[in-house]
Amino acid sequence: TNVLNRKSTLMDLSTWGTVNQNTKPIVELQNIETIWGHGDVSVIPRSGEDTNYRLSDGLLSIFEPGDLRSTVYIANKRSIKRTITAGIAKVGQAFRVSEALLNRAEAYAQLNKLGQANYGQLALNDLNTLRKKRFTTATYQDLTSTGADDLLLKCTLEKRREFFDEEAHRWFDLRRSGMPEIKHVYYPNNAQSLTYTLKERDPAYLLQIPMSILNLNPKLAPNPLPAVRQGQ
């Protein structure tokens, strides 16, 4: 709330115009939602049009009809949130107003689940404030909720639609929701695909502590080694 009291402007995708990641990328300092940008775009793990990584079918399936993020953020099943040339965007990541809004929505939803029912509508208000700026005018409808768990699920899905390929949001959300099994599909070429499985609570949810750090503090225990993965 403190953040939103200082900056609350959201980009309106219904007036976005022609989509071009090299002249109007989402992750950039000039985006009216950006609070702070950081990192070099060249070192960000990419899922853009210049890579073999595509967005999952699970993610693509949760975009509703009229959701403009499915075209402004995505092309050919790949993220186009960042520029792929030496254009406007020089940052790899950015904190955005929409992040503060969806974080508050989830906080309200958690309070609602604890029995403070008045927070349920506040959570829906925040979700709908964002969604009004993400859908075509003709297709937009306010979200409603059937209960506390349903409201929390709606917060999770909205965050997934909004923040894929940004700030490792999905990893943190998976970690704090029990580290479920997930599958990633890698495409070595246009004719082949390999599926890699991360099992529930898999040690590979964590990277190893660097040896340079372990050498400085021998009391640190290395993270468990994950099994070697083979694509299927």
Measured over the CA atoms of residue 75, residue 81, residue 84 and residue 87, the dihedral's sign is positive
DSSP for 116-130 reads: -THHHHHHHHHHHHH
* pLDDT per residue as tens digits for the range 148-187: 999 999 999 999 999 999 988 999 999 999 999 998 888 8
Whether 126 has a pLDDT exceeding 90, the answer reads yes
Q: Residue 93's closest CA among 21, 151, 42, 149?
A: 42
pTM for this prediction: 0.87
Q: Are strands 78-79 and 74-75 parallel, antiparallel or unpaired?
A: antiparallel
